[in-house]
Structure 1
Amino acid sequence: MKIGRFVMRKSMFIVGLIAVFTLIVALIIQVFTSYYIYNYQGNIPSDYRVAVVFGAKVQANGQPTRFLKDRLDAAIRLYKEDQVDVIYHLKRALFLGKVFGLDCIGYNADSGPYKTEGKQIFREILANIKALLDIGNERAPEVIIAPKK
């Protein structure tokens, strides 16, 4: 009986540590990036001319999910209003860009609420932890397409 309680307490302690670590990571990224994220298109500084739109799931019928549609619609608006020259999305990307020395900002394209928002938040928290681990391990991103010269 004592061994079972000891194992249970130790397991609960480890789960608690993981939960605290996860919350700290999420908070750090939230605080670090909040200053650089714009929710109103008119506030975006004019000296930023490249937008990065990260993908999201495409439905079986070939249509973008609401997440992706909102991102694409925002990018198209920015492009048509001549606010960006190149289009590409946010918190994790912005955080990584800042960590690697890029002068970058973000534009919140999501119009939510979304049906799967809870799932996406959980996925993003895990992805944020992975991003920090990648930085800690000095893992370089894989380049699929060579940049134009």
Structure 2
Amino acid sequence: MSKFKKIRKIVLTTGIAGLVGVGAIWAYVKSVSHAVIYKDLESVPAKYVGIVFGAGIRRDGKPSKYLKDRLDAGVLLYKNGKVKRILLSGDNGSNRYDELKVMKEYCVDAGIPPEDIFVDYAGFDTYSTVYRAKDLFKVDDAIMVTQAYHLERSVFLGEKMGISCVGFAADKGDYQLATKNEVREQLALVKSFVDVSRNRKPKYTGGNIDIRGVSNFYKK
């Protein structure tokens, strides 16, 4: 066998093994989360906290459609007694971009009292949001509030972090870049599995803001 053929065989074998491994990860993540994802309000079980994941704001300072639908879903859960607290998590990494300010104002305008709203200013990605929900806010049970394509990963991370959680799909109509986001999500599932396996630490850790205690709504 020529050297080229040997190398090609190694590459092909490695590639096939990699694809099998990725497929196994996808199947495992879905097995953990699929049965506890809900699309209708009546069937979703009540939990103490609704975790609303950030999803960007528009140039005019309004929430993106992704984010607006997540916030609306969180408000719906709260007003129907499905959750007692709302944890908003997003990116507040610069003075020019304050996603959490928009999220806070939206929820208050929708009728949620500030004392029932908690804010994570360093939820830079899904993993960080869920890790900090458990580590910083002491969340034990929660409803993950985001679009359906994002729920399998969110619920998987919650369960692995020790949070008894379910997912509530915030989908309303069509979304821009939906196909791109769904493809990206498949890669993110694998990354999340690796992050959990090596217990990756978020950029900011530590502290204690008990979700059952006094809200940090007015702090920053």
Structure 2 length-normalised TM: 0.58
CA distance 1:112–1:23, change in 2 (3 Å): farther
**How far apart, CA to CA, are the structure 1 residues paired with 2:206 and 2:62?**
24
Q: What is the distance in 2 between the residues matched to 1:145 and 1:64?
A: 28
Cα RMSD for the two superposed structures? 2.5
- Give the Å deviation of 1:85: 1.8
**Aligned-pair distance for 1:98?**
1.3
> Residue 100 of structure 1: CA displacement?
2.7
Residues 1:111 and 2:110 are matched in the alignment: no
User: Using a 3 Å threshold, how does the CA distance of structure 1 residues 4 and 114 change in structure 2: closer, same or farther?
Assistant: farther
Per the alignment, in what secondary structure is the counterpart of residue 105 of structure 1?
Answer: strand
- Measured in 1, the distance between the counterparts of 2:62 and 2:15 equals 39
Question: Against the structure 1 CA distance between its residues 60 and 106, is the aligned structure 2 distance closer, same or farther, given a 3 Å change threshold?
Answer: same
User: What is the number of residues matched between the two proteins?
Assistant: 148
Aligned to 2:14: 14
Q: CA deviation at 1:51?
A: 0.4
2:197 maps to a residue whose letter is: G
How far, CA to CA, are the matches of 1:123 and 1:112 in structure 2? 20
Classify 1:62/1:27 alpha carbon distance in 2 versus 1 (closer, same or farther; 3 Å): farther
**Structure 1 residues 144 and 13, CA gap change in structure 2 (3 angstroms):** same
Structure 2 unmatched runs, 5+: 88-144, 146-150, 214-220
In structure 2, the CA distance between the partners of 1:69 and 1:135, relative to structure 1 (3 Å rule), is: same
Contact 1:22 1:125 in 2 (8 A): no
Deviations 1:22-44 (A, max 9, x none): 22212211221011111111112
Residue in structure 1 matched with residue 104 of structure 2 by the alignment:
none
| Letter of the 2:196 counterpart | I
Q: How far 1:50 moved relative to its partner?
A: 0.9
- 2:30 & 2:162 partners in 1: Cα distance? 18
Instruction: Find the counterpart in structure 2 of residue 147 from structure 1.
Output: 209
* Aligned-pair CA distance for 1:20: 2.5
Shift in Å, 1:111: 2.9
Find the counterpart in structure 1 of residue 34 from structure 2.
34
CA drift of 1:74 comes to 0.8
Structure 1 residues 28 and 111: CA distance shift in structure 2, 3 A: farther
CA offset at residue 75 of structure 1? Answer: 0.9
Most deviating of 129-138 and 2-11: 2-11
**In structure 2, how many angstroms separate the alpha carbons of the residues matched to 1:111 and 1:20?**
34
Does the alignment pair 1:80 with 2:79? yes
- The unaligned stretches of length 5 or more in structure 1 are none
Give 3-state SS (helix, strand or coil) of 2:53's partner. coil
Question: Comparing both structures, which one devotes a greater share of its residues to helix?
Answer: 1
More strand by share: 2
